[in-house]
Amino acid sequence: MIRGSMVALITPYNDDGSVNLRRQAELIEWHIQNGTDSILILGTTAETPALTAAEQEDIVRVSIDAAKGRKPVIVGSGSNNSLAAKEKSLKFQSMGADGLLVITPYYNKTNKAGMIHHFRAVADAVDIPVYIYNVPGRTGCAITYEALEELSKHPKIAGIKEASGDISFVTKISRLINDDFNIYSGNDDMIVPLMSMGGEGVVSVLANILPAETHEMTMAYINGETEKAAALQKKYLDFINALFIETNPIPVKEAMNLAGLDVGGFRLPLCPMENRTREVLKSSMQDLGII
């Protein structure tokens, strides 16, 4: 069971727009040294839709090599094409992934039965844990409690990254938690509230720039220091909100560059922040002493 802070890692680029694989490896080493508990690559924050299949495989290879088994590496292998998701999942498993993050089938917007068959197609094919990714604000579709209840019984489906922002839904699905299935916050502003319902941690954008602090927050809650965890959640709340003032991962990459972490720019259709929102981001970073 993965616990604590899982960074939803950005993808660094060179000045010419190519993937900076050297920096990718350096960031993973930096996360390991700063307490990040596990690493997610090829998620939303990685700008995965803008990466070619070859680039995705390069990122997986370099990331797994850099981690050297010291921390679990979870790989986003989802698609709205169930066959493609299955094929990607098998490929990344063969490359050494420790687990897979599979998103709900966006755009197609299937019914309950199709949703269940989509995740089963992957889980039945692989030998490593599968984590469901529910983020209706991105996909236009949400997994239902009834579908998740059925999928949670699958021996290969180990949990859900819950990013709906709906605390009522979190409360409801928390009833599905057991030794083989757990929930992880997909929203940095809800880490402690979700963990209070039994969740094991967060898949975090915040951890890209504050890895030690995000780890500390989750571990404080796990270790029973609930008041400390809540205080840390409140301390970083304004900065968390600033990280989502524009579409993720635009603000977090801007913040990382402002902090000297040198991750490069974006791929269209993502582009640099507007001056107004950049100033809000900078102010929140100055308040915390990040810059």
* Residues 232, 63: Cα–Cα separation, whole Å: 29
Catalytic status, residue 133: yes
Q: Which of 131, 133, 221, 236 is catalytic?
A: 133
Q: What's the pLDDT at 34?
A: 97
The residues facing 202 across adjacent strands are 5, 185
* Residues 106, 84: Cα–Cα separation, whole Å: 13
Task: Tell me the C-alpha to C-alpha distance, in Å, between residue 110 and each of 30, 162, 255.
Answer: 40, 19, 37
Q: Tens-digit pLDDT profile for the chain (291 aa)?
A: 799 999 999 999 999 999 999 999 999 999 999 999 999 999 999 999 999 999 999 999 999 999 999 999 999 999 999 999 999 999 999 999 999 999 999 999 899 999 999 999 999 999 999 999 999 999 999 999 999 999 999 999 999 999 999 999 999 999 999 999 999 999 999 999 999 999 999 999 999 999 999 999 999 999 999 999 999 999 999 999 999 999 999 999 999 999 999 999 999 999 999 999 999 999 999 999 999
* Region for residue 80 given its phi and psi (left: phi exceeds 0; alpha: psi -120 to 50; beta: otherwise): alpha
Query: With helix as H, strand as E and coil as C, how does 125-180 read?
Result: CCCCCEEEEECHHHHCCCCCHHHHHHHCCCCCEEEEEECCCCHHHHHHHHHHCECC
* Residues 159, 130: Cα–Cα separation, whole Å: 7
Reading the block at residue 67, the tokens are 């981690």
Query: With helix as H, strand as E and coil as C, how does 117-140 read?
Result: HHHHHHHCCCCCCEEEEECHHHHC
Fold annotation for 4-226: TIM Barrel (3.20.20)
Q: What's the pLDDT at 1?
A: 75
Domain ranges of the chain: 4-226
* Residues 286, 33: Cα–Cα separation, whole Å: 24
Position 227, amino acid: E
pTM of the model: 0.94
- Contact assessment for residue 9 and residue 47, using Cβ atoms and an 8 Å cutoff: no
Q: Which of 71, 86, 88, 161 is catalytic?
A: 161
Q: What's the pLDDT at 87?
A: 97
Catalytic status, residue 172: no
Closest to 241 in 3D by CA, of 199, 277, 201, 216: 277
